[in-house]
């Protein structure tokens, strides 16, 4: 299913192993540990490193949303179903925080939410609205399955925070990540 197509950029569900490998490759190119400070400020970055196997497993039978230019993956929006929280190693300290937060009078743990596992857009495609289009497809694909989407964003990654707010998310909480002691924002996009 194609959610969007413009100038050779297609927004689709990641189905094949080749597309999952494309996600891994793009992630590697944008890991914080692999970028200079200037690159991180200019393009944003991803923090956690996921294996091919983990990326396949985290969606729990659903599919990640990707942007493709021809056969090349140029953006991704990972779906992390909370039934797979037990698989998370690094960064797993966030889940108890997620579950206990109150949002619109309800404990988040009592709401049927999906975690956005990670998002990334290739720097050569930055500023073209791809993140917003991937998120629109993400919502379209999963709004009947989940009530809201949420994720956490490293506070120093202001480019990502601004992109999420533009897509429809709102910041609901800031905390120091339990495993690393760094400041992160929790953002929520209510689909109800």
pLDDT in tens, 96-144: 788 899 999 999 999 999 999 899 999 999 989 999 999 999 999 999 9
Query: What's the pLDDT at 103?
Result: 96
pLDDT at 185 over 70: yes
Domains in the chain, ordered, with CATH?
A: 2-190 (3.40.630.30)
pLDDT band with cut points at 50, 70 and 90 for residue 4: low
- If phi over 0 gives left and psi between -120 and 50 gives alpha, with beta otherwise, what is residue 61? left
Q: What percent of the chain has pLDDT over 70?
A: 90
Query: What's the pLDDT at 91?
Result: 52
Query: What's the pLDDT at 82?
Result: 82
Query: What's the pLDDT at 92?
Result: 55
pLDDT at 181 over 80: no
E strands present in the chain: 2-6, 9-13, 65-69, 72-80, 102-103, 106-107, 113-121, 148-154, 170-176, 183-190
State whether residue 6 is helix, strand or coil: strand
C-alpha to C-alpha distance for 142 and 21, rounded to whole angstroms: 23
Whether the CB-CB separation of 25 and 73 falls below 8 Å is answered with yes
Query: Quick one: how far is CA 26 from the chain centroid?
Result: 13
C-alpha to C-alpha distance for 99 and 115, rounded to whole angstroms: 11
C-alpha to C-alpha distance for 126 and 43, rounded to whole angstroms: 7
Query: What's the pLDDT at 2?
Result: 63
Instruction: Quote the pTM value.
Output: 0.88
C-alpha to C-alpha distance for 129 and 85, rounded to whole angstroms: 30
């Amino acid at each position: 299913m194609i959610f969007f197509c413009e100038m050779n950029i297609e927004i689709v569900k990641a189905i094949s192993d080749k597309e999952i490998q494309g996600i891994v490759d793009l992630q590697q190119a944008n890991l914080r540990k692999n970028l200079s400070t200037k690159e991180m400020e200019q393009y944003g970055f991803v923090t956690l490193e996921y294996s091919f196997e983990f990326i396949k497993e985290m969606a729990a039978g659903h599919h990640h949303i990707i942007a493709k230019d021809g056969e090349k993956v140029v953006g991704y929006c990972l779906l992390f179903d909370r039934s797979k929280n037990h698989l998370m190693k690094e960064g797993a300290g966030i889940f108890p925080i997620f579950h206990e937060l109150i949002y619109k009078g309800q404990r988040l743990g009592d709401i049927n939410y999906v975690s956005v596992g990670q998002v990334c857009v290739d720097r050569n495609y930055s500023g073209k609205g791809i993140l917003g289009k991937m998120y629109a497809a993400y919502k379209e694909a999963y709004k009947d399955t989940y009530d809201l989407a949420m994720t956490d964003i490293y506070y120093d990654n202001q480019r990502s925070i601004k992109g999420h707010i533009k897509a429809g998310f709102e910041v609901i909480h800031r905390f120091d990540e339990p495993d690393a002691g760094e400041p992160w924002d929790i953002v929520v996009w209510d689909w109800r």
